[in-house]
Chains A and B, each alone.
Chain A
Amino acid sequence: NAGVTQTPKFQVLKTGQSMTLQCAQDMNHNSMYWYRQDPGMGLRLIYYSASEGTTDKGEVPNGYNVSRLNKREFSLRLESAAPSQTSVYFCASSPPIGRAGNEQFFGPGTRLTVL
């Protein structure tokens, strides 16, 4: 049981390049999330997906797109990377609201630098 996995762990891009961050979970969770963490800050929600086939914007969605490929996978795409998108990106998943704890399980993060 791997929990939430993310690839890659590190990435360096040039301004204007595109890339996709991959996330997968094996806990059969319906809900998945993408957050970013900037230095000295807490995490901020970029996009979320309540279930397979649905996605919604969070607090900071500009410059990103997402795809909920199936129940397990939720990818984040940067179409044209900008230096302001330099950050650590975390994927998370959670069971439905009402389950004990309602804990969100986080992946290990992807450290992205845009030059």
Chain B
Amino acid sequence: AQKITQTQPGMFVQEKEAVTLDCTYDTSDPSYGLFWYKQPSSGEMIFLIYQGSYDQQNATEGRYSLNFQKARKSANLVISASQLGDSAMYFCAMRERRGGGADGLTFGKGTHLIIQP
């Protein structure tokens, strides 16, 4: 069963509009973390935002915010005032505890976001 589900393979959004990228997750561990990464066409992985399972408030980082609904197991990324440079693949990922203190990430399949002028 998929642990991270991103249901939007692709999205087209007009520049300056807000956009919401969906992510649902599945875990039985009470302690986990949720991440969003951006991957532009150049291929690097760029960290955007993090939400811990015990965090009381939704995370925000500049134009990025994470709409965390724990009971529904969703962690949607909201980008306000989209820009042409936001065009990229966006991946939702979950940190799960593994042996020895490491915490490998499980990724969704991604959403390809295209911002149109």
Q: How large is the interface on B (under 10, 10 to 19, 20 to 34, 35 or more residues)?
A: 20 to 34
B80: shortest Cβ distance to chain A, in Å? 21
Is A56 in contact with B100, judged by CB distance below 8 angstroms? Answer: yes
- B-side interface residues toward A, CB under 8 Å? 4, 33, 35, 37, 43-45, 47, 50, 52, 91, 93, 95, 97-110
For A30, the chain B residues whose CB sits under 8 A away are 101
For A33, the chain B residues whose CB sits under 8 A away are 102, 104-105
Q: How large is the interface on A (under 10, 10 to 19, 20 to 34, 35 or more residues)?
A: 20 to 34
Top-4 shortest CB links A-B = A42-B107, A50-B100, A50-B102, A106-B45
Is B109 in contact with A41, judged by CB distance below 8 angstroms? Answer: yes
Is B105 in contact with A43, judged by CB distance below 8 angstroms? Answer: yes
Closest to B95 in A: A102
For B91, the chain A residues whose CB sits under 8 A away are 42-43
For B4, the chain A residues whose CB sits under 8 A away are 42
Closest to B102 in A: A50
